[in-house]
Structure 1
């Protein structure tokens, strides 16, 4: 088996080299990428491919951080107390770092007050709302593990993930679009309606005892406003004591895979994982060099929203701007124009939708300079339009270039001598701080 440990910069270099040696749109794209000095680390393409040996070590010049999520937020709030941290355009919510960290502490103390403790799992199920990010950081403050739940899940899928990770609490709005969350949960947990808040005893969901709704007061559930008021000075002291015990190596978030090759797996992420991922993303986008406002139409339950957006906000102090509860191309353009966003994250289909808006040319999006495009391969003609029509010269393609290749290999015995071999057929193994720590409740 060949081991390939590769850095992001090597991937980009290889991509540029491939583009520059092909004709037509790919060659034009390579020329456009290298036309002017960029905030990104890579501005020249190698003549020959970088990967020759089967073991590659990435850049080691940037020291890894050994901080917890709560430490990052506290440090950033101390540096920029009056700077905007979060803007939710559709709901009219604006929070400075000082306001946000105060509410995070209040929410964390409230979670402890209603019976949650360090190591418990809390599922966040819903669209892009302020309370999603509030729970993301409140759970991290209290040592509770946040479980990112797809807002489109139906009863069977919801039951699977709650049972898989043993969620003790579940947080959701009453309804979003056609999703009636309370009614969906009742299909799996009929005991909810006759339970007291915090006292659910479910036959099919034995670990679930606490349900929190963001808006309406419903039978068997706490309302978010009640949680925010539940903590007192004793719970705040308990919170500080818990924070003293937190390690950056402990799990902080479980994100489920899509289930393409089987049942969804709970990828378990540590504080160290997402803090360093967010730090490197921010450095890659140059947010440490200039104040940047990031437009985030991507869902928070996905890592690009919660880590590439909300965590970059906490680590680097880059305000996160959420245009709407779910993706709407027109709303994104409006948010970029009104909030003067300099960065924009999205998938290729999102960018295609934005570029196709009938009134695209009427929006002043000249403040844009870059962002992240991820999720699927990007057609060269779309990339050219993004860089020229949207002024996003510093866009990062977060799409590993080997993912679309066929898998070729053979069974063989490892060589008797531990020598590094040239690149050959076999498995690709990636090892770094930004990949998952483990799959929850699966053997290694």
Structure 2
């Protein structure tokens, strides 16, 4: 049982708990509808109401001692992958431990089904309302719960703490808007923050923000970004070979995870590059493939030819833009090209994960808007593994430099991989912090 005490619940928390209990059936209809659209079964949809679809395991060490069941929650794919990277590091230190991973999206569930280890199972997370959370906790009875990045569920946290579950916030990252919103409710913010036995922030600045919101300072530890320790993205070798064959000797660059307002700049940069390198191909992978029709219109408006992967279009010698409007293939694209522009950074989005690019052996180009990776990009840029651009002309210049200077490109690729490896190695200390603060029974701590 956790010995940490929290302050008395403020009135706003009681109101929130009452409202979420009343609205849970309506919220369920909405989330169930989204899961139905993705082909999720009715039984699995009910996991959102706390009804399990798998039995609870009984974890035991090889010598028969009880082992912990650890619950990780990551809202979507990125957070779930960060959770998997931490599970990979914790498992060897906790022999016999079992892991429960929850998330809210069908895409994350599909990804986890492919990448989870044998001692891990996935469930959709219960809605943050009293009845679903009670059902969930009654069945799973986790020893500890680790919430990844930014989701703070007051009802879930309070119910788990009352059940004796030790709590961690890991890879903590709150947006400026979220921090401002919590600061406007200081009593509730402090009440929520005090539930955690340990809070691991991505950088010192975020750590201070958590303290400002009411987290006890002795429980807050900057720990780097867990995504540095994620396993490399999968590569479809058959698909890779097929696209390589269609490209032949043509040079290529990749623009990945682009958002509305960025494709115009990427396309303009590519059009400028074609003036210098007429056979250059751009592989464009929007963050949201459902925007494909919109992006194709932008490409055609610029007077460029396009082939659409989801339609099975061939990548011919005349194809100037290959639109990769599919899911789950970015690992293949990063293996295809050593030059990758990561979107969400020329628009005010916060950037996307450069670790995946560097692990694939590519160098990174980013816009200035990488606030979600504020602890990652500066050392990556300082080391020469990434370069920051601001618009179409500077993007074209960065790509042109690496296209025409193999030495500079190879130096950048090596630097990018080195920064990621160094940050991944530093995550070993995160495991020690969690084992200590969550009182996990590792062989080194068992009496």
Pair in the same fold by TM > 0.5: no
More contact order relative to length (CA 8 Å, sep ≥ 6): 1
> As a proportion of its length, which structure holds more helix?
2
**TM-score normalised per structure 1:** 0.28
**TM-score normalised per structure 2:** 0.28
